[in-house]
């Protein structure tokens, strides 16, 4: 048997059907109930002509409907397409067209945006009530029209799974995976040990397990939350969600549901969570792990969270949409010092030079991964060719874009994305390092660092800073703060202060906007 996400979930629904699979607010579903709901959605989509290889967009907040639709597409051997609900019309138009949608399940809150740009012929299902778009079928009606039984065609470990990921510049791109590779890249059903040998072993071990209560705080429109959900299910556990991220609601949900582990995304979530702990009172005695994925925690935020949660293990996990989970940070990891990790024996990670050979001790190279990786980008053969390369021995590598060095003991030190590295007078500056130092200042709420043109040095370091509400901070104060922690060439020469930071719809730094803002401030 091959590992297929839909097959595995159906097996779990049969083995542990009465166990709770998902909780979101007041709604909860057992494995059997979620399986039946997904079957109904799948049969409705099938009646519209959606079949193997068809792309089904999901433009929803977190909820039961998201997971049921996601599973429904996989059951049909169709491909669920995550649509970022923060996208405005221009971004949605691009994504709808680039992903070749045949159906879209969306929240009625997004009626106006969907109506403005959805391509003709895309089947619409609305969640949250009746849509203003006449052609849209309400989700409740779709459930009524579909049967709860299965009767689907045979599936394969080669079935395609696509995760659209937004970068710091440019439009989103769809990372394409084969189902079995994706399963293995995210723990193989056993993230704390050897991957399971067969699909039946996954089901048997999940049935025997004492189920944990696990939470994913990010939205399901991001791969991190999708994979966290599947990891929980493959362990026979319960996944707890909040419809929208709000720090107090996250802690209240952890208290109410007795959550054991939570996945968050970097400072963007850790900072408001820490602030909520400072002002609120919650019973978090059930919680023992906070794991950050998708973005490394800055040292100051991590330390504050650890002070507030002294009995909780705080982890930094390293990976990407294209690579899957690759490693966890070791002691000393932070953007200020770089993410440090020890590759395990099976990770097939390396730091390569421009000839795809491993770098020597202390030399800078690109982090690469072989083995279980994505196989390309949808509708983008040029990007695929640049990112997925084959060396002289025939090994296919994913070039992550992260620059790193290797210590004598094999520890890898990751400094940041090469595409954003600032070359100032021949010295390389990684924006993430400077951003983390700036965010460690008590008067700074957020910071993005970029390079702007400089006649003498080619480029100079510039920072766009959002002060904390009510705080007054000056360029001179930040300069003094940075000089205590950074070499002089890394210290920003230009500061632009803004009332609100602009970030991409995926929550990532918008370096294009930051460059424009900093350049204008220097004029």
Domain annotation for the chain: domains and CATH numbers:
5-244 (3.40.50.12780), 267-337 (3.40.50.980), 342-417 (2.30.38.10), 421-522 (3.30.300.30)
- Quote the pLDDT of residue 170: 57
Taking the C-alpha atoms of residue 230 and residue 233, their distance in angstroms, rounded to an integer, is 5
Residue with the bigger pLDDT between 458 and 446: it is 446
Taking the C-alpha atoms of residue 518 and residue 496, their distance in angstroms, rounded to an integer, is 6
Coil/strand/helix, residue 446:
strand
Please spell the DSSP secondary structure of 306-341, one letter per residue: HHH-TTSEEEEEEEETTTEEEEEB-TT-BTTTBEEE
Lay out the sheet containing 79-82: strands in order across. Answer: 79-82, 55-59, 101-107, 123-127, 137-138
Mean pLDDT of 480-484: 91
Please spell the DSSP secondary structure of 213-242, one letter per residue: EEEE-S-TTSHHHHHHHHHHHHTT-EEEE-
pLDDT band at 506 (very low <50, low <70, confident <90, very high): low
pLDDT band at 169 (very low <50, low <70, confident <90, very high): very low
Mean pLDDT of 245-272: 94
Mean pLDDT of 474-487: 91
Contact (CB, 8 A) for 58 and 45: no
- Quote the pLDDT of residue 337: 55
Highest-confidence segment of 227-241, 303-317, 468-482? 227-241
Stretch among 33-42, 166-175, 240-249, 450-459 having the lowest mean pLDDT: 166-175
pLDDT at 198 over 60: yes
Tally of helices (H runs) and strands (E runs) in the chain? 16, 27
pLDDT band at 168 (very low <50, low <70, confident <90, very high): very low
Task: Specify the DSSP element, H or E, that contains 518.
Answer: helix 511-522
Mean pLDDT of 41-70: 98
Name the β-bridge partners of 20: 30
Angle between helices 199-208 and 223-234 (to 10 degrees): 70
Lay out the sheet containing 289-293: strands in order across. Answer: 27-30, 20-24, 238-241, 213-216, 261-264, 289-293, 313-320, 324-328
Contact (CB, 8 A) for 438 and 482: yes
- Quote the pLDDT of residue 330: 67
pLDDT tens digit sequence for 343-369 = 766 678 899 999 999 999 989 899 999
Query: How are beta strands 137-138 and 123-127 bridged, if at all?
Result: parallel
Please spell the DSSP secondary structure of 98-134, one letter per residue: HTTEEEEEEEGGGHHHHHHHPPTT-EEEEESS--SST
- Quote the pLDDT of residue 130: 86
pLDDT tens digit sequence for 225-244 = 999 999 999 999 999 999 99
- Quote the pLDDT of residue 430: 79
Stretch among 76-85, 279-288, 338-347 having the lowest mean pLDDT: 338-347
Residue with the bigger pLDDT between 65 and 332: it is 65
Q: How far are the Cα atoms of 98, 208, 219, 507 from residue 86, in angstroms, in the given order?
A: 17, 40, 11, 9
Output the average pLDDT for the chain: 91
- Quote the pLDDT of residue 182: 97
Coil/strand/helix, residue 24:
strand
């Amino acid at each position: 048997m091959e590992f297929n996400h839909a097959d595995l979930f159906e097996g779990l629904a049969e083995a542990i059907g009465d166990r709770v699979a998902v909780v979101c607010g007041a709604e909860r579903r057992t494995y059997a109930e979620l399986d039946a709901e997904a079957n109904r959605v799948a049969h409705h989509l099938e009646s519209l002509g959606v079949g193997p290889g068809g792309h089904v967009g999901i433009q929803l907040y977190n909820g039961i409907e998201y997971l049921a639709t996601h599973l429904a597409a996989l059951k049909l051997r169709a491909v669920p397409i995550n649509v970022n609900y923060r996208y405005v019309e221009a971004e949605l138009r691009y994504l709808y067209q680039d992903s070749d949608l045949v159906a879209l399940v969306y929240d009625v809150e997004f009626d106006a945006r969907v109506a403005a740009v959805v391509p003709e012929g895309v089947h619409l299902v609305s969640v949250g009530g009746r849509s203003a778009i006449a052609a849209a079928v309400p989700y409740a009606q779709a459930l009524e029209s579909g049967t709860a039984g299965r009767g689907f065609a045979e599936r394969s470990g080669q079935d395609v799974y696509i995760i659209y990921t937004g970068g710091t510049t440019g439009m989103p791109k769809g990372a394409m995976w084969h189902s079995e590779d994706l399963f293995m890249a995210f723990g193989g059903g056993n993230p704390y040990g050897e991957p399971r040998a067969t699909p039946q072993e996954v089901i048997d071990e999940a049935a025997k397990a004492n189920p944990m209560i696990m939470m994913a705080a990010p939205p399901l429109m991001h791969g991190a939350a999708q994979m966290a959900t599947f990891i929980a299910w493959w362990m026979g556990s319960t996944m707890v969600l909040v419809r929208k991220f709000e720090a107090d609601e996250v802690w209240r949900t952890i208290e109410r549901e007795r959550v054991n582990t939570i996945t968050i995304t970097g400072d963007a979530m850790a900072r408001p969570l820490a602030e909520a702990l400072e002002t609120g009172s919650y019973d978090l005695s059930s919680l023992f792990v906070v794991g950050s994925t998708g973005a490394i925690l800055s040292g100051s935020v991590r330390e504050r969270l650890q002070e507030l949660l002294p009995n909780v293990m705080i982890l930094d996990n390293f990976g990407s949409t294209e690579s899957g989970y690759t490693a966890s940070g070791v002691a000393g990891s932070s953007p200020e010092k770089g993410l440090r990790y020890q590759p395990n024996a099976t990770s097939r990670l390396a730091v390569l030079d421009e000839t795809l050979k491993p770098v020597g001790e202390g030399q800078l190279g690109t982090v690469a991964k072989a083995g279980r990786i994505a196989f390309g980008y949808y509708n983008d053969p040029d990007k695929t060719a640049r990112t997925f390369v084959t060396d002289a021995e025939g090994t296919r590598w994913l070039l992550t874009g992260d620059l790193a060095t290797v210590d004598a003991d094999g520890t890898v030190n990751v400094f940041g994305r090469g595409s954003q590295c600032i070359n100032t007078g021949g010295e390389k500056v990684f924006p993430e390092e400077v951003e983390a130092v700036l965010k460690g200042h008590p008067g700074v709420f957020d910071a993005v660092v970029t390079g702007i043109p400089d006649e003498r040095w080619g480029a100079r370091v510039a920072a766009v800073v959002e002060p904390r509400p009510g705080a007054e901070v000056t360029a001179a104060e930040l300069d003094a703060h940075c000089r205590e922690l950074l070499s002089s060439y890394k210290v920003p020469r230009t500061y632009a202060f803004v009332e609100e930071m602009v970030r991409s719809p995926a929550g990532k730094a918008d370096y294009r906007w930051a460059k424009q803002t900093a350049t204008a401030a220097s004029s």
